[in-house]
Amino acid sequence: MEARYEALRRATEEVAAVDAHAHNLVEHGSAFPFLRCFSEAEGDALALAPHSLSFKRSLRDIAALYNCEPLLEKVEKFRSAEGLKSIGSKCFQAANISVILIDDGIAFDKMLDLESHKAFAPVVGRVLRIERLAETIINDVSVFLLFLSLVSNQIVALKSIAAYRSSLEINPNVNKTDAEDGLRKELTGPRPFRITNKNLIDYLFTCSLGIAVSLNLPVQIHTGFGDKDLDLRKCNPLHLRAVLEDERFAKCQIVLLHASYPFSKEASYLASVYSQVYLDFGLAIPKLSVHGMTSSLKELLELAPIKKVMFSTDGYAFPETYYLGAKRARDVVYRVLSAACEDGDLSIQEAIEAVEDIFRRNALHLYKLNVVNGSINHETTIVGDSVSLSSVEEDVLFVRIIWSDASGQYRCRVVPAGRFYEITRNKGVGLTFAAMGMTSFCDGPADGSNLTGVGEIRLVPDMPTLVRIPWSRREEMVMADMQIRPGEGWEYCPRNALRKVTKVLLDEFNVTMKAGFENEFFLRRKLVSDGVEQWVPYDNTNYCSTSAFDGASSILQEVYSSLKASGIIVEQLHAEAGKGQFEIALKYILCTLAADKLIYARETIKSIARKHGLLATFLPKPDLNDFGSGSHVHLSLWENDQNVFMGSSKDNFHGMSKTGQQFLAGVYHHLPSILAFTAPHPNSYDRIQPDTWSGAYQCWGKENREAPLRTACPPGVPLDLVSNFEIKSFDGCANPHLGLAAIIAAGIDGLRRDLKLPEPIESNPSDHASKLKRLPQNLQESVEALSADKVLHELIGDKLVTAAIAIRKAEIDQFAKNPGAFNDLIYRY
């Protein structure tokens, strides 16, 4: 079982976590001693009882981290010798925490301020504890502190500990008069005082919910177990139903902390029936036994959507508490999700996605964080009685909402960051139907596309794809989904088409496809002669030329760094055979992600070239007398984290499994039709010629670079097997989502009909020209093949295929009549 779930284990260990609820660290020498972590003093919920299961386990974990004996005195000796900076770095590096959201409502001796925590995690946000704030205001008789607290320190959420002070039986209808009477009673007591009057607490609570709604801030609520001054009977989150049913607070996102233990089932129920309820399992993990932690998390996931469950360490005072919370959470999440896979509740890929959601994405989304540049960008402040988003625009000015149309061009609508985070991120922006019917030469819909200026869709940001733009640091970009109405994908949306066929592949065959793209492109420099502007090759070198790479190294270094900052992994880069031509190969990943990242990669390459006064073009054949550029894609099939395209000793057809052969046979059979998506422009066919490594004949071969379909045996794969196949007839004019959707649709047909491959071609296909069929030699031929291909019409969607065909026909007509118009395409691709 362990080997089967290795990818899940790796994902759980490697995800850079968002710690959504923790407390301040303290300096060495604080009156709050480290040994308090391991005591029963004051009935402290934060402490680990010396004889508990969690105490013994935690002590061993810390000792192992410090490479010392598992004795308290040995650990304490190591801490004293190393100092806070050293042990903090060691603990947080091992914990792999990228963001900390700190509730600074507990006043420790010598506690660090928020800014000091950035020495250990790049991004730190503040959670404002409302009861603590109210007590501070009253004790210091300084209402200005309220304003100061709200406009500073990057507040990302409010928090209530009403459970400690009275109970979670909040009266949402408590009135101001009762609250004032409660305050007067509190003020007659000694100072400093601790708010305990229920009417006052309930009033503060409901007022805070109202403020949270106006500021679009989540509210964290202590639920379940805690210190001994807490009445556990009144900390059941079901007591909050009166608040949850109140229409005034229906839009307030409420986070139930600590897994609500021992009321985890009740919390899961609330999250399943109330859209505004979210769950956080910090403190329950790591305080409980392994069985207790596992049971509690399982109970949370019984009913609650995975998108609503979040990790936190509930770390406090000492770096070790953060480390223990993160380490144990990763172990328990792996244990629970692998069991869910074993039971059939999740596929391994779905479990890996759940890891990203639980440890990172859910918190980034809920707390409106953008951490690409080490900052929190959605920061709301109060100015008078209104909400100001000016602080957002001090960091990020614009957000580009990006889509790729059916002609393979990348387009964007740009929204000021303040408006984006306030409105657009949820509601999207309008776009005419005509936008998906446009061609490479005209911003109007092609005849026969059935798309006109009548009708509008919504471009809805897909927030997990949001990244800071590395070459323009005050901007972000995000991929868009096209929706005809909220939550309903438009049938012309390329991303939706790819998701649709991917789901069919998974549902029918329990298989997913991964893709890795090779980006070939030309660099051009501007030359002005006699007042005429020309774009000429950046250099005049040959394939893998060292001097070519050296000459462009500074540009390629910047491209690499920018791609890395955007989460795009580069595996290789080199000079190609054309004049000024280069290639950047990207790591294979799930095909839906690969298509998005390909768009970001090309945007990056073109923009950084432009920054250096150059032009980068992915056009297949910008110079008819030079080599062409492709966007070769390497594809593999996966089931439960196993490469099932690859053969085995018992299942081997030229290195492929039966599943791999059937899938590839489908692609082979439909390849003429697929070209209408992967080589979608008349210029594409100037590139696809015999003897140019572009795949001109309908055939396949093992490690045959002249074949359009090449099975590959990369280093590390046994020589009698192949791990993936490459499609060479894929170029930079293709919409990557539509190209991959066509390939998957063809593969599905191969699997459904148990199609067989012919024998491979093991030499140059040109040598077999009399026996082999040429692939379409022009766009017209591929369009004719697609028009007759019922399988692609059915699986991709007849309306989308019809629109694509209309666009291709318009391109054919335009460039047949105006061959010189090809020269302008370097600006579009």
Which of 49-63, 135-149, 213-227, 409-423 is predicted with the least confidence, judged by mean pLDDT? Answer: 135-149
Which of 40-54, 304-318, 474-488, 503-517 is predicted with the least confidence, judged by mean pLDDT? Answer: 40-54
| pLDDT tens per residue, range 49-87 | 455 556 778 888 888 888 888 888 888 878 877 778 888
Averaged confidence pLDDT in the chain: 87
Spatial separation of the C-alpha atoms in residues 576 and 603, rounded to whole Å = 20
pLDDT for position 52: 58
Which of 133-137, 155-159, 485-489 is predicted with the least confidence, judged by mean pLDDT? Answer: 133-137
What separation in angstroms does the CA of 70 have from each of 50, 65, 328? 13, 10, 18
Q: How confident is the model at residue 373 (pLDDT cuts 50, 70, 90)?
A: very low
Spatial separation of the C-alpha atoms in residues 747 and 513, rounded to whole Å = 10
Q: How confident is the model at residue 504 (pLDDT cuts 50, 70, 90)?
A: very high
Ordered domains of the chain (ranges, CATH) = 5-367 (3.20.20.140), 398-492 (3.10.20.70), 499-827 (3.30.590.10)
Question: Which residues are paired to 414 by β-bridges?
Answer: 400
- What is the mean predicted confidence (pLDDT) over 381-400? 53
395: tokens are 């960091």
pLDDT for position 203: 87
Q: How confident is the model at residue 402 (pLDDT cuts 50, 70, 90)?
A: very high
- What is the mean predicted confidence (pLDDT) over 435-456? 92
Q: Are 225 and 237 in contact (CB under 8 A)?
A: no
Pairing, β 512-529 against β 532-537: antiparallel
Spatial separation of the C-alpha atoms in residues 739 and 495, rounded to whole Å = 11
User: Tokens 């065909």, residue?
Assistant: 805
At 200, give phi and psi (nearest 5°). -65, -45
DSSP percent split of the chain into helix, strand, coil, nearest 5: 45, 20, 35
Spatial separation of the C-alpha atoms in residues 746 and 790, rounded to whole Å = 11
pLDDT for position 63: 87
State yes or no: pLDDT of 149 exceeds 60: no
57: tokens are 């386990």
Q: Are 448 and 806 in contact (CB under 8 A)?
A: yes
pLDDT for position 53: 59
256: tokens are 């139930």
Spatial separation of the C-alpha atoms in residues 374 and 383, rounded to whole Å = 26
Provide the 8-state DSSP code for 759.
Answer: P
104: tokens are 């600074």
Provide the 8-state DSSP code for 230.
Answer: S
- What is the mean predicted confidence (pLDDT) over 500-525? 94
State yes or no: pLDDT of 702 exceeds 50: yes
Q: Which residues contact 231 (CB under 8 A, 6 or more apart)?
A: 167
Q: Are 376 and 369 in contact (CB under 8 A)?
A: yes
Q: How confident is the model at residue 586 (pLDDT cuts 50, 70, 90)?
A: very high
What separation in angstroms does the CA of 546 have from each of 275, 281, 424, 576, 776? 58, 54, 47, 11, 36
| pLDDT tens per residue, range 529-545 | 888 888 999 999 989 99
Q: How confident is the model at residue 376 (pLDDT cuts 50, 70, 90)?
A: very low
| pLDDT tens per residue, range 245-264 | 999 999 999 999 999 999 99
Provide the 8-state DSSP code for 31.
Answer: S
Provide the 8-state DSSP code for 645.
Answer: S
| pLDDT tens per residue, range 99-129 | 999 998 887 778 888 888 888 887 888 998 8
pLDDT for position 396: 85
Q: How confident is the model at residue 646 (pLDDT cuts 50, 70, 90)?
A: very high
Residue by residue, DSSP assigns 438-472 as B-SS-SSBPTTS---SS-EEEEEE-GGG-EE-TTS
Q: How confident is the model at residue 138 (pLDDT cuts 50, 70, 90)?
A: low
pLDDT for position 87: 87
Which of 27-31, 478-482, 732-736 is predicted with the least confidence, judged by mean pLDDT? Answer: 27-31
Q: How confident is the model at residue 682 (pLDDT cuts 50, 70, 90)?
A: very high
Burial class (CB in 10 A: 0-12, 13-18, 19+), 290: middle
Q: Which residues contact 373 (CB under 8 A, 6 or more apart)?
A: 395, 468, 473
| pLDDT tens per residue, range 224-239 | 988 777 788 889 999 9
402: tokens are 């990006």
- What is the mean predicted confidence (pLDDT) over 25-40? 60
- What is the mean predicted confidence (pLDDT) over 353-376? 78
Spatial separation of the C-alpha atoms in residues 371 and 67, rounded to whole Å = 33
Which of 195-204, 617-626, 733-742 is predicted with the least confidence, judged by mean pLDDT? Answer: 195-204
Q: Are 383 and 374 in contact (CB under 8 A)?
A: no
Interior angle at CA 163, CA 161 and CA 169, nearest 5: 125
Q: Are 803 and 449 in contact (CB under 8 A)?
A: yes
pLDDT for position 67: 84
State yes or no: pLDDT of 386 exceeds 50: no
**Is-above-0.85 flag for pTM?**
no
